[in-house]
Amino acid sequence: MKDIKNASLLAHNTFGIDVRCRRLLEFSSSEEAQQVVRGLREGDRPYLLLGGGSNLLLTGDYPGTVITPENRFEVTVFSCPDDQDGVYLRCWAGSTFDEVVDYAVKLGFHGMENLSLIPGEVGASAIQNIGAYGAEASEIIKEVEAVEIATALPVRFSNADCQYGYRQSRFKQEWRDKYLVTAVTYRLTKTFAPKLDYGSIRRELDAKGIKDPTASQMRQVVIAIRRAKLPDPKVEGNAGSFFMNPMVTERKFRSLQLLYPEMPFFRLPVPLRQADGSVLTVKVPAGWMIDQCGWKGRSLGRAGVHDRQALVLVNRGGASGQEILTLCRTIQHDVKERFGIQILPEVNIK
């Protein structure tokens, strides 16, 4: 276990924000996570539970304790006698998620291909319900193991327990900062059933003359698409897609479509009923709206919008977290003014 005072967080966030925390604790097993929790004192608050920092914007020095799993690859493969097509991967929370995807594809285990090259660690996949190109982590998560901070006891949660939604889970809501995720078990399949009808996947496959792709070919196409659209955090600091795609009612969608006939959209397979009685039926790309507001490629100080994907905010070099937050709020204001839609950050802001 590592215990570092006044630790730099520069290497712990992909935006490349040079800030520090009062204390950094790193655990390398469930037992060490329990030890970490038992050793916490009131003076260590507040807590920031951190994975690879790929979905995080730090707006200043963190005044408390950062707790993180050791970054290492650890995967155990097992099967269940009553699940002939299923195969299970139990993964250490600090495993790099894309390394797990690569490992699964090479072994002929399917269901992760469309999630290729998403940055971050396994633990974050269960908290954030990461997704891309028509796939979400919630579709393959079987079980999440964690340590409860209040009691230092190990716990297990089923997929249903986590109440997954679009980029949401109970870990981001009522369970926020209450558990240290230590492992995630994914259920994959031996049978390959590719998801081709989202984004430009089918178009890219057609361009390569591939009609019936293998899982490896699917992974390579997804990687190529992401690399063409998204900047490398090692070159230009970013956290991938900064905003979530908003979902709107049919009435709102129709009114927008009258004004913007060319507007891209995605119909939800299952409409979502809200607490106020409204029903969300259509997802509108936030990146398209940001682009329509003229932000693609523009900068505000040392923070900017990527020139190939308006959904991505970037650190042009030496930007502070506050500069990126100001850019975020300015874009939100402009989208709200033009489209009447409030776009929300997918990135956690601290």
3-state SS, residue 126? helix
In whole angstroms, give the CA distance from residue 213 to residue 228.
20
Find, among 192, 190, 224, 195, the residue nearest to 207 by Cα. Answer: 224
Residue of 30, 95, 169, 241 marked active site: 241
* pLDDT of res. 134: 87
Q: Is 169 a catalytic residue?
A: no
Residue of 113, 136, 145, 346 marked active site: 346
Residue 123 Rama label (left phi>0; alpha psi -120 to 50; beta): alpha
Q: Is 346 a catalytic residue?
A: yes
CA 166, chain centre distance (Å)? 10
CB contact set of 186 (below 8 Å; sequence gap of 6+)? 88, 89, 91, 100, 104, 111, 112, 140, 141, 142
Please state whether the peptide bond connecting residue 46 to the residue before it is cis, i.e. omega within 30 degrees of 0.
Answer: yes
Residue of 167, 187, 219, 226 marked active site: 167
Q: Is 298 a catalytic residue?
A: no
Query: What residue ranges define each of the domains in the chain, with the CATH number in brackets?
Result: 2-69 (3.30.43.10), 75-189 (3.30.465.10), 237-349 (3.90.78.10)
pTM value? 0.88
**DSSP per residue, 269-297:** EEEEE-TTS-EEEEE--HHHHHHHTT-TT
Catalogue the E-assigned strands of 105-256. Answer: 131-132, 135-136, 141-148, 154-158, 179-189, 237-241, 247-249
* pLDDT of res. 81: 92
In whole angstroms, give the CA distance from residue 50 to residue 149.
14
What six digits make up the tokens of 166?
Answer: 């679009």
In whole angstroms, give the CA distance from residue 334 to residue 342.
10
* pLDDT of res. 84: 94
pLDDT < 50 stretches in the chain:
none
